Each structure stands twice: as C-alpha cells, then as structure tokens.
Amino acid sequence: MTVTLHPGPAQSGVRRTRRALIALEARRSLTAPWLWLGIALTSWIAYSTTATDFAGGGYHGLMASFAGLASGLFVLAVNAGGRDHAIGGPVAPDAAVDADERALGRLLGLWPAVAIAVLFAAVLFAVQRAEGGMWIADLPAARNDAVFSLVEVLQPPMLFVVAVTAGVAAGRASAHRSIVAVAGALVIAATGFLYWAWQWTPAVWVTLVQTQPIEVALDADFVPADAPTTWMLSAPDRYQSNWGRVMVHQAMAGWHLVYLAGIAAFFAGLAIRGRRGRRAIIAGAAVAVAAVVLQMIVTPSGTTGA
C-alpha cells in the first residue's frame, strides 16, 4: 500500500505567499529605474574604454564596467530587502509568513533583473568577440586579438548575484535604505571603476572585480628576443622600469569566481537568516576563505598587478 503525504494547510499557505512575493518583486524589479540606469552606466563605461591608448586598457575596462550594472542591482535589492521597514516595521506575529520567508521571496523575486543583466553582459562579450578581440600586450606586435575566456565571462553573472544578495541583506538590516543603497553602490562601483587600485596582491584576491591580464615583473637584464614565443610582454614605460610578462591566468580567475560564489552564499544567509541562513553563512565563509587561499597559491611569484 502506498501512502501519500500532503503538505499541511500552513505549509501550502507559506508556499502560495512566497510565490506571490516572488511574482510581485519580479514585476517591481523591471519597473524600477535602477536596473536600467546600471545598464546605461555600464554601456557608457564600456564604450569609453575603447579609446584607451595602452595595452590591456580596453580589456580591463570592459570587465570593470560591469560594476556599474552591479551597483544598480544592489540599489534595487536594498529597496526589496527593506520593504518591511518601509511599511512600518517588523512583520506582525499573525502574518501569513514570517520575515525570513518574506526575505527569501523578495530575494528570489529579483531573478528577472539578474537574468536581464546576464543577457546584457553576454551581448557585450559577443560584440567584443565579433570585433576580433582586444589589444593586451606590446609584444608580440599588434597582439590585438584577445577575447575573454569562459571563466572570465562567468565573473559578471556571479558579481550580479553578489550584488543582489548583499543588497537584500543590507536592506533588511537597516531602516535607512537611501544611505545604505548609496554607500553600497559606491563601494561596488569603486572596485570596478578604480580597478587599478585593487589589482595588487593581496587585494586582487578579495576585490569584487578582478581584471585580467596580470603582469609578472621580469629581471632588469631581460631581453625580449630571449623570451619564449608563447609569451606576451609589456614594455617599460613611465609606470614600470622593466619588461613584464603579461598573462591571462585562468586558475586565478577560476578561484576568484569561487570566491564570489562564497560571498554570495554568505550574503544570502544574512538576508534570509534562520537555520537556512546560518548554514549558508558558514558554508559561504568557508568557501570564500578557501578560494582566497587557493588564489594565493596559484598566483605567479612576482605578480605586480594588472
């Protein structure tokens, strides 16, 4: 004999309310201006980087430009996470769902905004590939065919997830949504638009936006003609006195992706709280710390930054 267990009325009510919250937040995420402002800001930054006059400038700049879109998503998520503050304070004890379930529904309801952001990023990467790549090294001459690898392409989507989980957590934690939204958006923007300020060890392992390629300093007596044919080189200029080896380090970029996944789980735990939240916080922190250590291990000795 087969016994079928049906969820009780209370559990069914929780699921219906959660689905309703997801649908409501999904509509709000598309009608609010923050996603579209983020897309506009990223478009402007990405376009402006095409005029850079040094090797790797456009390559760094395109990846860094996604901080603008992430900032918009963060503001959107702060507003979503802080709705209970906006309607007058904590959820009533007799509400259909508790505050943790409401936070989960609102976090999941941001999926259309994240999906549009990911699609927009995919379009930019496709355009970069269709145009034949970018200039990232002084030697070999005219090395202007560099395109982003799969690991690098996955960084913006993970950055967007970090932005919405952090935003919901921050919005739920503070009643001062405007202050939190502006401060958080500026932090995210700074990690992208000022990417050069963070591309040194150990900051490069923990920044939100890690740009490639990296550069490894070479000895003062290095002669370019003696370099292996597979090497890409950066010539001495006003910022460096020696030649440098330029490389897109896939292992470093891969572990940084895992780091972003860890902090996304950490912020998601802070957003939804409860037992599930505590597990996510612990697991996310452990993954993030492990990823930082592994980045440290795989980073080439002598790395001077981006």
Does any domain span residue 2? Answer: no
CA distance linking residue 180 with residue 192, whole number of Å: 19
Does any domain span residue 164? Answer: yes
> Domain total for the chain?
1
Does any domain span residue 4? Answer: no
Residue 244 pairs in a beta bridge with 217, 234
Does any domain span residue 12? Answer: no
Does any domain span residue 3? Answer: no
Question: Which amino acid is located at 177 in the chain?
Answer: R
Q: Which residues contact 211 (CB under 8 A, 6 or more apart)?
A: 59, 60, 63, 64, 195, 199, 306
Per-residue pLDDT tens listing for the chain (306 residues): 554 545 544 566 667 877 888 899 999 999 999 999 999 999 999 888 877 777 777 888 899 999 999 999 999 999 999 887 665 555 545 455 678 888 899 999 999 999 999 999 999 999 988 888 888 888 876 566 788 999 999 999 999 999 999 999 999 998 888 999 999 999 999 888 887 777 778 888 999 999 888 888 888 888 888 888 888 888 887 777 888 888 888 999 999 999 999 999 999 999 999 999 999 999 999 999 999 999 999 998 867 665
Does any domain span residue 233? Answer: yes
Domain ranges, residue 291: 18-91+98-305
Does any domain span residue 288? Answer: yes
Does any domain span residue 8? Answer: no
